[in-house]
Amino acid sequence: MPELTHDSVLLKEAVDALAIEGDRVNGIFIDGTFGRGGHSRLILERLGGEGRLIAFDKDPEAVSVAGKITDPRFEIVHKSFADLGEVLEEKGIEMIDGILLDLGISSPQVEDAARGFSFRLEGPLDMRMDSTRGLSAAEWLAVETEEKIAEVIHQYGEERFAFQIAKAIVACRTIKPIDSTKQLAEIVAGAVKTFEKGKNPATRTFQAIRIFINRELEELEIGLQAAWQHLRLNGRMSVISFHSLEDRIVKKFLSGKAKVDMPDRRLPIRAIDLPQPEMKLLGKQKPSKAEVSKNARSRSAILRIATRVSYENGGRNED
């Protein structure tokens, strides 16, 4: 089977956002979602001789691809970026100069029927990004309660027919195990009465189960906080999300760090002693029409960029 490829969305824009220039070319950077290495390879092109890039990925196949990179400035860690804090501590690294996250699922994962992510391809109902750990989607659906299945599909898929889908799943599993993607897709199609034109009725359910099985939103919140705790002054965060649930978490986190509670203006406090925001938002970007035309997967992507401007004690940017 030929090696599946992946077109990194907002490739140049996301790496540009890390501002790998000047003294920062020899800094320490993190690619929290290696995938097939598009962002990592471009970061390496811009790093200086003393620079360092640490990449993370839960997917054993992505780690295998990363193992082919022989650049001594690069290393791959077979873990989620949610483990960033623990890994940096093990390596004796206190601060990093920037982190890039390209959230969600990659094209090779979707296009490999054996991974079980796609309702369009017949394959085992797995959906684990790390196929060496945890329950597969089939194993989870075989034992979970109807109420919990409905909750997951509604919460992570924003599916209004979540109750009907869960009920159909539980009814069908009493007859035979639900262990293939096509089987689940057919069950969902029979339970969903109306759906968006041009969109498969199983889209939201597959997204919901995948997010739940892989703890994607929980790991995103943990990873963002860990990255922030280790981000040095003027360090950059460059985060690409693909659906509203991810983007909502990223936006809330970054916006929260960019705001401060100001004291009563009537108090005799000097301007220099006023609390300062920990970060500055540098904006957001969406793919160009040309990129969307070339790569339809990019159409829902949003890149959010931020930089650290002070620490929690209210210290100002030292520039």
Residue type, 240: I
Query: For helices 162-173 and 146-157, what crossing angle results, to 10°?
Result: 140
Report yes or no: 306 and 281 within 8 Å, Cβ to Cβ: yes
SS3 per-residue string spanning 259-301 = CCCCCCCCCCCCHHHCCCCCEEEEEEECCCHHHHHHCHHHHHC
Is 38 within any annotated ligand binding site? yes
160-163 long-range contacts (CB < 8 A, ≥24 apart) are 161/191, 161/192, 161/193
Q: What does each C-alpha distance from 53 to 12, 13, 99, 121, 246 come to in angstroms?
A: 17, 18, 10, 35, 24
Report yes or no: 35 and 62 within 8 Å, Cβ to Cβ: yes
Is 78 within any annotated ligand binding site? no
Is 16 within any annotated ligand binding site? no
Report yes or no: 309 and 279 within 8 Å, Cβ to Cβ: yes
**Two structure tokens written together for 284:** 């957001």
Is 57 within any annotated ligand binding site? yes
Known binding residues are: 37-39, 57, 81, 102, 109
Known binding residues for S-adenosyl-L-methionine are: 37-39, 57, 81, 102, 109
